[in-house]
Structure 1
């Protein structure tokens, strides 16, 4: 073989470049991509095509309005949590107002004319939000990182934006004026008012396009507050359950846990990244949480289960596990929770 041609064929493929984050190798970053410990292999294009060709997709209504609408107070001295929709919460604690994964756009999509469309309006109108002090982003999927909404929040409220490593670059590419505080798993930020945000692991992944899979980190949050510990999970698989046990061991049993209960069918495809209601109850047990609120269902159609299947499956899983139904509520947009006296 021609020596020049041999060198061309034998040369190793160029190492991909991470456009969002450059940092040292760690136990969950290989220098290019992030990963969860014991993470199963990524699903392939063949797996995706198999799912799309064999889908048993339950019907969803075009509109599924919530019976609840919330107009929150400007501040709360104790603790109050309300689901805006999907994984978007307003947490009010000790006078601080915190949003998680705020999505007020009509679609969870890179384009405005296609992609998952919300079937109910936000449970709090954007104009009815109280002064927002902090925004917590768990990861960069379009149903959690909505750049249009982040821009609106910056213009109106000037909050602090907190996100896992790499997501700051994604936000700044669209909104260079927004300062984003990016942190790694195990790191913490003081939000004021006696509240600290701690970034903890989740069993998930990230991508905004076809070539950036796992190039930005994902996380869950623990909020230690004067009114108790709050654990917020945007997306996660159950894995071996260690992430929930670690939260309980490090911070004690949370007073409140936001746990996803939707977007889980088919299991062969979704299990590594999304808990089903039975697994969410197992996580609730591992956390020993005082109260859980179920989210990530009933707003955007992402997977194959019917719109009402998550709360129905949650009720069955709670009964089987011997928990009272009120200990783990599947919230609708605009529905609030406050602790009992």
Structure 2
């Protein structure tokens, strides 16, 4: 069997969905990314979710990968929307979101252009020859991006932290990158001049135009290889602007809604939430780290978001559910929770949404 055939048999897409790692627990003398005092979510070497579930180990990973149950995906899943060509800025009370794909979105608000978890590469993998590949083109061509002021990076899994994309962004736009502790070390491995601000949950970073980025908890984990499990922190973000608050969650388990309630209580609700709705099957393996569309709808209600973008579906196959399963599950979930479908948009690459002010909901 060739090397490529071996990784295809092993199910590299599933490995990446589980965290971009083979999940082997190995002793390590230290943390290669971050050194700091112990905290409520850090034991001096690794980060953790207080009171939460740890990611499953290698035995469970193999049980999932060899257990079958994967629904087929088409080789391509083109978006019905053409690639967008964004305007340079959105000012005043405007809020515009353009979907690039997966968890990558361009958020234009308060005269700022903000990218979330940017990925323009064809694969999200440590390998150039294997791993999840794009089923649709980016919703904005890289060269058509407006000037990028800030980038929010939630964690270091390959479908969120793509070093090739960061290299291009730093060289072309020199954005202010905001990310939780430890991820700056990874970015600077290939982009040493990157302007990066890091922080723990609860920290705040100013990015200009009266806008602050709050680093907030998410129930997830991190890894880039077999020996760095949970050595860089993961997070959600709250973007506080003169035109309203935005809650961005890259990946999260529902965690009994604890983080959603806390975010709503702390910040007083949101004009917009960006919430993941894909990569959630099988539940016995994914429940602690990836939420379902029903949990996303419940989270929208708990955090008191007026509108929501559903992301993390339809671009990279990571888990067992069919490509459009999140759409059907979300439709039922919104009816179950009592949320009007117009308020929760499962966006596709190239789709543009001018989000109404919160008071119109």
TM-score where L is the length of structure 2? 0.89
In the alignment, is residue 271 of structure 1 matched against residue 287 of structure 2? yes
- Name the structure 2 match of 1:212: 228
Q: 1:32 aligns with which of 37, 42, 45?
A: 45
Larger radius of gyration: 1
- Name the structure 1 match of 2:84: 70
Alignment of 1:119-198 (within 5 A): 119-198=135-214
Q: Distance in 1 between matches of 2:272 and 2:95?
A: 10
Work out whether residues 16 and 32 of structure 1, in 8 Å CA contact, stay in contact via their aligned partners in 2. no
TM superposition shift of 1:300: 0.2
TM superposition shift of 1:15: 6.2
- Name the structure 2 match of 1:250: 266
**Could you report, residue by residue, the CA deviation over 1:298-328 in whole angstroms, capped at 9, with x for unpaired residues?**
0000000000000110001111222211111
Q: Distance in 2 between matches of 1:231 and 1:337?
A: 16
Work out whether residues 107 and 117 of structure 1, in 8 Å CA contact, stay in contact via their aligned partners in 2. yes
Work out whether residues 118 and 165 of structure 2, in 8 Å CA contact, stay in contact via their aligned partners in 1. yes
- Name the structure 2 match of 1:96: 112
In the alignment, is residue 228 of structure 1 matched against residue 244 of structure 2? yes
Q: Distance in 2 between matches of 1:305 and 1:247?
A: 29
Greater shift, 189-198 or 331-340, is seen at 331-340
Partner SS for 1:102: coil
Partner SS for 1:17: coil
- Name the structure 2 match of 1:286: 302
Alignment of 1:317-336 (within 5 A): 317-336=333-352
Work out whether residues 55 and 221 of structure 2, in 8 Å CA contact, stay in contact via their aligned partners in 1. no
Distance of aligned partners of 1:135 and 1:46 in 2 relative to their CA distance in 1, 3 Å threshold:
same
Give unpaired runs (5+ residues) of structure 2.
Answer: 1-25
Q: Distance in 2 between matches of 1:108 and 1:293?
A: 22
Q: Distance in 2 between matches of 1:289 and 1:340?
A: 12
Partner SS for 1:27: coil
TM superposition shift of 1:14: 6.9
Q: 1:112 aligns with which of 110, 116, 128?
A: 128
Q: Distance in 2 between matches of 1:335 and 1:140?
A: 26
TM superposition shift of 1:113: 1.5
TM superposition shift of 1:111: 1.8
TM superposition shift of 1:42: 3.0
Work out whether residues 85 and 332 of structure 1, in 8 Å CA contact, stay in contact via their aligned partners in 2. yes
Give the length in aligned residue pairs.
Answer: 329
**Could you report, residue by residue, the CA deviation over 1:40-72 in whole angstroms, capped at 9, with x for unpaired residues?**
233111101100111200000111111112111
- Name the structure 1 match of 2:16: none
Distance of aligned partners of 1:266 and 1:229 in 2 relative to their CA distance in 1, 3 Å threshold:
same
Q: Distance in 2 between matches of 1:265 and 1:14?
A: 30
Alignment of 1:43-58 (within 5 A): 43-58=56-71
Q: Distance in 2 between matches of 1:321 and 1:171?
A: 39
Runs of 4+ in 1 over 2 A off after TM superposition: 13-16
Work out whether residues 174 and 195 of structure 2, in 8 Å CA contact, stay in contact via their aligned partners in 1. no
Q: Distance in 1 between matches of 2:356 and 2:63?
A: 48
Q: Distance in 1 between matches of 2:178 and 2:265?
A: 24
Partner SS for 1:90: strand
TM superposition shift of 1:179: 2.8
- Name the structure 2 match of 1:237: 253
Q: Distance in 2 between matches of 1:282 and 1:321?
A: 7
Distance of aligned partners of 1:334 and 1:95 in 2 relative to their CA distance in 1, 3 Å threshold:
same
Partner SS for 1:246: helix
**Could you report, residue by residue, the CA deviation over 1:177-205 in whole angstroms, capped at 9, with x for unpaired residues?**
22321111100111111111000000000
